[in-house]
Amino acid sequence: MNLKARKRWSLVILLIGLPLYIVAAVTLVNWMDRALGRQPIIVELAVYIGLGILWILPFRRVFSGIGKGE
């Protein structure tokens, strides 16, 4: 994929995909609260950090080299 296409896809991912992923992550934590009861803050923090790292793994190739020039 060329640089121009990667820049466009990165914008789509950041402007559409990331907000949807954030809503899904918060929904997951809210479901955990309902199903398992309120978790300690460290557990919730670990879930948010894990999900924050997990979303970028499939898109590493799209975001690599975006800040570099032609």
Would you state the pLDDT for residue 26? 92
Q: At what angle do helices 41-54 and 18-36 cross, to 10 degrees?
A: 150
Question: How far is the C-alpha of 26 from the C-alpha of 63, rounded, in Å?
Answer: 24
pLDDT > 70 in the chain, percent: 97
Render pLDDT for 10-67 as a digit per residue (tens, 0 to 9). 999 999 999 999 999 999 999 999 999 888 999 999 999 999 899 889 888 888 888 8
Question: What residues have CB less than 8 Å from 51, skipping those under 6 apart?
Answer: 21, 25, 28
Taking the domains of the chain in order of start, what are their residue ranges? Answer: 17-61
Would you state the pLDDT for residue 70? 65
Question: How far is the C-alpha of 46 from the C-alpha of 55, rounded, in Å?
Answer: 14
